[in-house]
Amino acid sequence: MSAPTDTHCPYCSLQCGITLTPKPDGTLSLVGRADFPVNRGGLCIKGATATELLDHPERLTAPLVRDSRDDPFRQATWDEALDRIAAAVTATQERYGRDAVGAFGGGGLTNEKAYQFGKFVRVALRSRNIDYNGRFCMSSAVAAGTRAFGMDRGLPFPFDDIPKADVLVLVGSNPADTMPPAMRFLEEGRERGARHIVIDPRRTATAELAHTHLQPVPNTDLSLANGLLHIAIRENLVDEEYIATRTNGFDAVRRAVRSYWPDRVERVTGIAVPDLYELVRAMAAAPTAMILTARGVEQHADGTDTAQAWINLALALGLPGSGPGNGWGTITGQGNGQGGREHGQKADQLPGYRQLTNPAHRAHVAGVWGVDPDELPGPGVSAYELLDRMGTDAGVRALLVSASNPVVSAPNARHVEERFAALDFLAVTDIFLSETARLADVVLPTTQWAEESGTMTNPEGRVLLRRKAVEPPPGVRSDLGIWRGIADRLGRGQFFPTEPEEVFTELRRASAGGIADYAGITYQRLAAGEELFWPCPAEDHPGTSHVFTERFATPDGRANFLPVRPRLAAELPDEAHPYLLTTGRARSHYQSGTQTRRSPTLAAAVPRPYVELHPELARSLGISDGDPVRLSTPRGSAVLDARLDPGSRRDTVFVPFHWGGAACVNALTSDALDPTSRMPEFKTCPVAVEKAAIDPEEKNGAVVRPAVART
Ligand code: SF4
């Protein structure tokens, strides 16, 4: 590379624009792009230090194989590694059938890779078993949005609309830590006098900046939203004309929330009755109002219904599709959380949000792929179910993992690790030897963000061109080339181009006419700086920055209310586990930490896992700041440093989820799944908290012991 290259950050869904420029000493300078409308030059510490990943000394640069799991890895040629994978696929399928081989992808894969991975599994492996870690991140809002609006686009409007909201309600969302440059949209709103209300059990950095912070009991958001709707109806604050002309099903919801009396809602949620009234009245009185939800709403066993409850409130107030500054949206987290779920990486979907169960959809995609529709397998199972069944008669016996680290990121992670050990064969592609890769039989080194081109789609439905800026290290291949190499050995290589633009051109055809229609988006248009949001059905179409303005994407064009009630949580606090554990991100780390824990700057910023707890809770348990604290749930226990935080609830402790090994908080989290989205209940589970004896080996989670043996 000799000239500056405009590209995008490798981490979160904001996909901040950056420019990489070679320096005389051979390193790269990285600056935020002022011309990119999302970050306008702003970057968080993760993006600003992203070049630390490129020449990292732990980078994988050769395939690794081993003959048994007891052996250490040894370097192998690409031919040997790919031959081993193809042989394992063939042997497994001959013995157990096609579905005994599966794949697990990542929410950070480019659109081209997400598309090609889904196609690879259905056309080369001819298996139904593929899902991805995005199932853990936003699938409940996806399910709710699809049910209510007929379409899942995280934000039906651009970020630029956020400052236009006179009242903004953020529920279970903490952009000040997870995507700091997005805070400029909130700041702009506050500067013009907008009122911001944050609903979060933690007093987060985002809550600190809001006008109002409501701190409900974890896992009570559904009751809270129903209670707010009850007040809106009782006070005649709902938009009857909007309800009559743009929605279906309000009467059933009106009946369902009748019993959500404010004093009852206060008892359940801990939010005082006057605060409930004030919130509803503020939203109803404002010329424009917006509700944004995120993982705090979704990562529950009733996450889909909880997201629906907030959608019900938004619809009753007449917000979605009612012009700039109004609406409901969900803020996607992972790098390509939006695009990664649109093009066939999910167990039940084909590209463009087409369905595997729909004969017309199958025929369209099979036509683009050049295969018989009857060759395409049916839907598989969701991510956690795929992992939970590994190595059993009901599950896969061989798995290919790409750009994901479920040993750290899946709930009930010790159990997941056991299931990985039960596989006959595991191959992992990654840039580092992640905790999951350490369990593999074959590990393949892949290119990373700045070493390859591809498109990403951010939460607005904005499609971005992430340009290649540097050559990858010798010995490294792209996932597209890896899948082609395996497919060649299975006799299906002819279906798999390896150039990203060629794959994207095929993706455009496969998505054409679907909900997420990319037909009109080209590399040339993106390179020329056009701002393109899907659906974009033709090359002369400007793209669609705002959806739902005239009609919703449902068959009759109307949005759907749905009555929802909270289900009893899978686990309730008891004498042995009297507190609640909630998890989330730390500002300087990302997802399972495979990348950020290796960045010297980011690792120095937050070097170790910790547990945040209220000083009064700590005092009652004899815990001081920095003490080792043991957390225990029915799945295991971990010892972490105490970090006292008066912004915590007295009944709730918080642990960031970026660490693996024995410090992996997901060893403690619940694997209860939402019945619709199959999203796990990461956000809440009962936990015991106690001061741990100071044991240097155990401190900071050097040891996690199962409290209950699983059978
Ligand atoms: Fe990267 Fe997200 Fe930080 Fe932007 S906010 S620099 S996309 S990690």
Average pLDDT over residues 670-689: 88
- Of 656, 654, 663, nearest to 701 by C-alpha is 663
Average pLDDT over residues 37-61: 93
> How far from 49 is each of 106, 434, 452, CA to CA, in Å?
22, 20, 19
CA of 9 to the centre of ligand 1 (A): 6
Is residue 167 in a domain?
yes
DSSP string, 473-494: PTT-B-HHHHHHHHHHHTT-GG
Is residue 563 in a domain?
no
Mean pLDDT for the chain?
92
271 and 369 housed in the same domain: no
Please tell me the residue having the least CA distance from ligand 1 atom 3.
44
Please tell me the residue having the least CA distance from ligand 1 atom 5.
179
| Domain of residue 642, CATH code | 2.40.40.20
520 and 457 housed in the same domain: yes
Q: Is the pLDDT assigned to residue 300 strictly greater than 90? A: no
What are the pLDDT digits (tens) for 224-245? 999 999 999 999 999 999 999 9
Considering the chain, what percentage of its residues have pLDDT values greater than 70?
A: 97
Q: How far apart, in Å, do the first and last CA atoms of the chain sit?
A: 55
Is residue 565 in a domain?
no
- Of 632, 581, 586, nearest to 609 by C-alpha is 586
Average pLDDT over residues 470-486: 96
617 and 513 housed in the same domain: no
Q: Which residues contact 374 (CB under 8 A, 6 or more apart)?
A: none
Q: Is the pLDDT assigned to residue 550 strictly greater than 50? A: yes
Q: Residue 489's pLDDT is what? A: 98
Q: Is the pLDDT assigned to residue 190 strictly greater than 70? A: yes
| pTM for the model | 0.93
Q: Residue 702's pLDDT is what? A: 37
- Of 287, 280, 286, nearest to 236 by C-alpha is 280
Query: Is the CB of 643 within 6 Å of ligand 1?
Result: no
Q: Residue 148's pLDDT is what? A: 96
Q: Residue 335's pLDDT is what? A: 79
Candidate from 14, 336, 591 with most ligand 1 atoms within 8 A of CB, to mutate: 14
Instruction: Please state the domain count of the chain.
Output: 4
349 and 478 housed in the same domain: yes
Q: Is the pLDDT assigned to residue 706 strictly greater than 50? A: no
Angstrom distance (rounded) from CA 665 to CA 376? 38
Q: Is the pLDDT assigned to residue 418 strictly greater than 70? A: yes
318 and 349 housed in the same domain: no
361 and 465 housed in the same domain: yes
Confidence of residue 694 (pLDDT cuts 50, 70, 90): low
> Which residue has 């369990």 as its token pair?
439
Q: Is the pLDDT assigned to residue 575 strictly greater than 50? A: yes
Instruction: Answer for the pair 472, 452: CB distance below 8 angstroms, yes or no.
Output: yes
Q: Is the pLDDT assigned to residue 285 strictly greater than 90? A: yes
| Domain of residue 36, CATH code | 3.30.200.210
Q: Could you say which of 503, 533, 563 is where a domain stops? A: 533
| Domain of residue 326, CATH code | 3.40.228.10
Query: Is the CB of 30 within 6 Å of ligand 1?
Result: no
Record the tokens describing residue 102, joined without a space. 């599966």
184 and 278 housed in the same domain: yes
Q: Could you say which of 330, 350, 369 is where a domain stops? A: 330
What are the pLDDT digits (tens) for 342-388? 998 999 999 999 999 999 999 999 999 999 999 999 999 999 999 99
Torsion of CA 103, 109, 110, 113, to 10 degrees: -20
CA of 47 to the centre of ligand 1 (A): 5
What is the span of the domain harbouring residue 360?
Answer: 64-129+336-533
Confidence of residue 183 (pLDDT cuts 50, 70, 90): very high
Q: Residue 180 CA: which ligand 1 atom is closest? A: 5
Average pLDDT over residues 113-137: 94
Is residue 546 in a domain?
no
| Domain of residue 90, CATH code | 3.40.50.740
Q: Residue 545's pLDDT is what? A: 96
Q: Is the pLDDT assigned to residue 401 strictly greater than 50? A: yes
Is residue 677 in a domain?
yes
- Of 144, 150, 310, 313, nearest to 243 by C-alpha is 313
190 and 315 housed in the same domain: yes
Q: Residue 263: how many CB atoms within 10 A of its CB?
A: 11
CA of 523 to the centre of ligand 1 (A): 23
What are the pLDDT digits (tens) for 66-91? 999 999 999 999 999 999 999 999 99
Confidence of residue 337 (pLDDT cuts 50, 70, 90): confident
- Of 466, 651, 682, 479, nearest to 577 by C-alpha is 651
Candidate from 9, 38, 51, 462 with most ligand 1 atoms within 8 A of CB, to mutate: 9
434 and 464 housed in the same domain: yes
Stretch among 433-447, 598-612, 642-656 having the lowest mean pLDDT: 598-612
- Tell me which long-range contacts 24-31 makes (C-beta under 8 A, separation of at least 24): 27/51, 28/54, 28/450, 28/469, 28/470
